A and B are shown apart, each in its own frame.
Chain A
Amino acid sequence: MSWKTVIGLEVHSELNTKTKCFCGCKNEFGDKPNTNCCPVCTAMPGALPVLNRDAVERAILMGLAVGCKINNYSVFERKNYFYPDLAKAYQISQLEYPLCLGGGLEIEVDGVKKFIRLNRIHLEEDAGKLIHTSHGSLVDYNRGGVPLIEIVSEPDMNSAEEAVAYLEKLRSTLLYVGVSDCKMQEGSIRFDVNISVNREGEPLGTRTELKNLNSFKAVLRAIKYESARQIEELEAGRPIIQETRRWDDEKGKTYTMRTKEDSQDYRYFPDPDLIPLNVTDKYIESIRQKLPKLAPERKKEYISLGLTEQDATLLTNEREYADFFEAVLRELNEPKFVCNWITAEVFKKLNALEVDDRKITLNPALLAKMLKLYKDGEINQAGARKIFDIMWNDLTANPEKLVNELGLKQMNDTNELRAVLERIVNDNPKAVSELKAGNEKTMAFFVGQAMKATQGKANPKLVADIVRELIK
């Protein structure tokens, strides 16, 4: 009987609030160590936490976006453990009464759709950061107390590809809702994987937990490695030990971090410094009003504008793409035309970048201007691409000026073109007879020749019309 892999994911995502979760310090990545700190987030004796309502609101927004039930009553608890990056020696988190329960996301792998259920989303605080140097270890508490949501899935995924599809969808949703910047390199989104294998029809196997996964690629590779390792162990008659394993990205292997026996007892209990969090239905509704249009709704709109489902999906995969598409559309109301350029040319540029760096910085109004020139036949495709290349790197480049500077204005003068083409037709009798015989591919030859003769400025549509007329 074949093996089945069962995967559940825990995703930690930092919320992009202005200030930390329980004090007024700035929530900012990359500042000088220990500058965004106060008595509260450095756990000075006597300091007390005060809940940041903005963090609660963002957590609820995300919960609503993925269909969670928002609990009217939730409780912050202390998760007690010693570690130098954890100033209070406990993390404020939620356990028994989390803020959001249930919900889920639909993923698609190889054309197959699947609903991944969520167990919960709860609000907690991040720890600081340890920096190990040759002189010893240093602690930076800037990140200590930054609000996090932990999004816990049910074990509904059965392959590394499904896990990654889920993570991509989750990241996209977080970005749509606008509650996290999801920068993997900065650690603002992090993943833990729970994984087990069992034979088809048999009960679930013993699971291991994988830590230190900080890219989609690492998740993909780690799951593939770990499920193969577990199968190999079981087939060799060795049991799987419930443990936490660390992924070594360089070696491409997982290693034992700690087994269940030496796992910690976190001694959770309700934090007496924080009163239980009561959110009224009215408050939840007021937050729901702030929920931006999400992917499915926008996709529907785009299809109604005449886009194919495939194009609509591509444009709505990330909020940024959709926002950009709509911004260009406001300047140039040619949905299909704008979509084609974005999905072909813009995406080509983006795909050459690392995931974290895939940002569209182009000014949509300027792009619309360029596309209008192209649409109106002022420039041809080659010219449009040339200008676009420049615009991608020079965000203030003016396409109209570039047309003149680079002499890209398309040759639309029929007489001028006719003169050029008469010569080409005369010089190539063989091609003429092929075209006459109905071989339409030969037209490309004439267009190519015309481009050559005009330094790429000929209007290809006009060229075709004139050639047809000349060989009549």
Chain B
Amino acid sequence: MKVHEYQAKELLAAAGANVPKHIVVKTPDEAAAAFDQLSNGGGVVVKAQVHAGGRGQGQLIGFSDKLGGVKFCTSKEKAKAVAEAMLTHHLKTKQTGPEGTKIQTLIVQADAEPAKEFYLGMVLDRSIGVPVMMASAEGGMDIEEVAAKHPEKILKVPVAPETGLLPFQARRLAYELGFVGDQAAKAEKIMLALSKVYRDKDASLAEINPLAITKSGDVVVLDAKFDFDDNALFRHKDIAALRDENEENPAEVRAGKANLNFIQLDGTIGCLVNGAGLAMATMDIINYHGKAHGVGPANFLDVGGSVTAEGAIEGFRIILSDPKVKGILVNVFGGIASCATIAEALVKAGKEVGFKVPVVVRLEGNEVEKARVILSQASADLPTLKTANDLTTAAKMVVELSK
């Protein structure tokens, strides 16, 4: 689960990191008022709070001037006007689609002009099974680009999950990054705070980019990005409460509430599958047989190992709420449960939802013959329902029917 920059910074501040003062605002007037509180005779930075990265280089769609999601403002009027523009235009960045994303929240941040920028990040290193802290003096840049071009410029320290980053590890990193004197101690404190939040709150990704030495010599967190382990939210009600459903795809939010794993894609064939691996593989086979005809998967949907009528009903409804969908492939491998039960669930779901597009069903497993009889008997009520006896036939059939 992702959170906003301001939420990440507040967690870091609570863990002892030095974070520039900010005020969260939702209207231009609040932005103007925040300017008065934070400008201190200079300026403030107005920053759009959206989950997508690349805000600084982004562009407000349909706005006449060049303006992205981050702007330094030297007057109250300017701060108000910038806030107004951001709150009324969608922001397009390299991480959003071409339609951009709506901005509903801003922060007004006290100016902390950077003299030098660093990168700090913490993520699980799957190859060794423990988190690592990564640090680089190439801050502010896209860290993946640094990793690809200059892997030697990224320092990595494995962190024991039992202890978190140890003070000596932070100290060594700070000196290796080139911090000196008091600034090294300040950087060390921020690293320890990052590790503390990561460990205490079960983050899956925690980044400070950039960590900055300001022109006045302070060391601060200028931007932060956290992603939390969904599987650990049960023990962090405070983190779960930070979820912003406005930032998520509405169909995905709806699926989540029904315990379905759903991800929206841009093709035209909906998929309803049991099991995540098989669901991915089903998308792949649609693409394999469909790409020559410009046909691809419209979604990933794993309804879980066992298929219930309730899960299938909600799954079909979510798939069919996408107007692009021209056909659906149902691919279910029945495990221990009888395929007949699954077929009955699908027929019940079909009658409940109504299939306005072709639906090709491929079932395999226990008592599949019985299941095929049930499906064929349902054809009077569900004329668009077709059955296929194997996966290749099913994929080709749904591609053909929805070309």
Is A bound to B? no
